[in-house]
Amino acid sequence: MSEHHPELQPPKAVTPLGILVEQLEAISQQAKSSNIPRELREQIDRAYQLAAGLNPYIEANTTPESSALANLANKTSQEPWELRFSDGETVRQLEQEMLSGHLEGQTLKMFVSMTGAKRILEIGMFTGYSALAMAEALPDDGQVIACEIDPYVAEFAQTCFQQSADGDKISVKVGPALDIMKDLAEVRESFDFVFIDADKGKYIQYLQRLLETSLLAENGWILVDNTLLQGQPYLKMEQRSANGEAIAQFNRFVTEDPRLEQVLLPLRDGVTIIRRK
């Protein structure tokens, strides 16, 4: 895993804000070399600066990640994911952009502390950034059960967990999350806090299984990632991928379910907090 890979790419923009910044940067560059009124050029530049400065400012004013999380993120960005898939080592195409990262990880840590959660279920672990962030906020007797379908990335995460003092609070289950959830429900497991971050097409089923079994504790919290899906749910239908459509349907399902109370936060690619009324 430590070979040198000159083809490694910097992360792509995968959030509404990241895409907006890229587009405003391109418009601002074009505006500089075009014959438009100076006032319009300055307005475009101000819009670009306003958008481009937001995340770096938020990052700078947020508690830094632990060295274990920084190492995990760095290791994830060094991994040649395309090659791992073409070599058949991963069962699907994974990419470094799947990792949630500093702001979302710190937000999860704060929510875990605020709710006093002790038992956490993660659906979709990837290299383990969010699982480890949540584990860092748990008391010593707390536990994260993290579901991941891909054995290669599950092992990758476990190697990182071994290098952290909080890694032993995480128990990894490898397989399709719906099957793992069924097994956990059969033995009446229950969680105070659930983070849904796996395949978008199954989000509604994950939510239903949580609500209709023992899995979500009575006063439990559900956090759901990517509920803005690069802006696709509110952009024109023609710009919507299958995942964008799945998230649009999920958001509608949550909004129309009278059992639930929720808020969609514009953090990174959108995070929805849900609880029973």
Contact string (CB under 6 A) for ligand SAM, positions 69-108, x = contact? -----------------------x-x---xxx--------
As measured in angstroms, the least distance from the Cβ of 274 to ligand SAM is 17
**Is 112 or 147 the residue whose CB approaches ligand SAM more closely?**
147
Of residues 17 and 133, the one with the C-beta less far from ligand SAM? 133
Query: Does residue 130 bind ligand SAM (CB under 6 A)?
Result: yes
Q: From residue 100, how far is each of 129, 135, 217 by CA, in Å?
A: 7, 15, 25
Tokens at 165, concatenated? 């003092």
Q: Are 103 and 59 in contact (CB under 8 A)?
A: yes
- Of the pair 65, 197, the CB lying nearest ligand SAM is at 197
Torsion angle (degrees, nearest 10) of CA 218, 219, 220, 226: 120
Residue 223 interacts with ligand SAM (CB under 6 A)? no
Smallest CA-to-CA distance from 131 within 168, 97, 95, 96 is with: 168
Selected binder of ligand SAM within 149, 160, 246, 274 (CB under 6 A)? 149
* 177 touches ligand SAM (CB under 6 A): yes
Q: Check binding of 176 to ligand SAM (CB under 6 A).
A: yes
According to DSSP, the β-strands at 143-148 and 170-174 are parallel
Among 147, 184, 215, 229, binds ligand SAM (CB under 6 A): 147
First-to-last C-alpha distance (Å) of the chain: 47
Return the range that interacts with ligand SAM (CB under 6 A); candidates 134-142, 192-200, 212-220, 248-256.
192-200
> ∠ CA(24), CA(29), CA(30), 5° rounding?
100
